[in-house]
Amino acid sequence: MTVRSPRAIADSIGAARLLPVLRLARADAAAALARELADAGLNALELTTTTLGWEEMLRDLRAELPLVILGMGTVTSADDAERAVAAGADFLVSPHAAPEVRRVASTADVLFVEGAFSPGEVGAAAAHGPAKLFPASIGGPAYLRSLLAIIPQASIIPTGGVSVEEVPAYLAAGAFAVGVGSDLLAPGAGERAHALLERIGSQ
């Protein structure tokens, strides 16, 4: 496995612009969707610790999809962070501030995308790298635009309740990348993701 620096991983997520969040109960379903989205041209994916058997799933996908950036989301403890890093996660994501996860990520030299919502939280998270705005649907693109007006240097990834159709609006508002979850979990996800990539790529 090629080891990529946190900066390189962050740059790749920003270049991808779309970050699917595969929050599924079963590992086989999440792995199948990861393969489908990778085949559709998605080169950055976020799995989650809410999936039963996520550690083995991540390890298997890491070996199967060596060129795809694989992150582990919903990481809120040092133990899960250490297990995710050991299984090959390129980056870690939390839904809220998680100092213990940041310590593990820093020691392992792995990118950590910390969850935040208020201006203070977003500013604190963004001081270390990309920040996850969660749940983004509460304020929508207008709230993201307001945050960037006062924290213009922040790289923000809005996630939570974001539909495929809303992705261009978030990007236009200044999103670093956009996390999409449930709207990409239905059958035909690969086709919808590919169409979206073509759409945002032309903007």
Which residue is catalytic, options 55, 114, 132, 166?
Answer: 132
User: What radius of gyration do the chain's Cα atoms show?
Assistant: 15
Task: Indicate if 132 belongs to the active site.
Answer: yes
φ, ψ dihedrals at 158, nearest 5°: -70, 135
Rounded CA-CA distance 191/175 in Å is: 23
Q: How many residues does the chain have?
A: 203
Structure tokens that stand for 193 in this block: 């993701």
Task: Indicate if 46 belongs to the active site.
Answer: yes
Peptide bond into 95 cis (omega under 30): no
Q: Which helix or strand (DSSP H or E) is residue 18 part of?
A: strand 18-22
Sorted by sequence, the CB contacts under 8 Å of residue 127 that are 6+ apart come out as: none
Contact 175, 168 (CB under 8 A): no
Which residue is catalytic, options 36, 46, 82, 114?
Answer: 46
- β-bridge partners, 179: 19
Enzyme catalytic residues? 46, 132
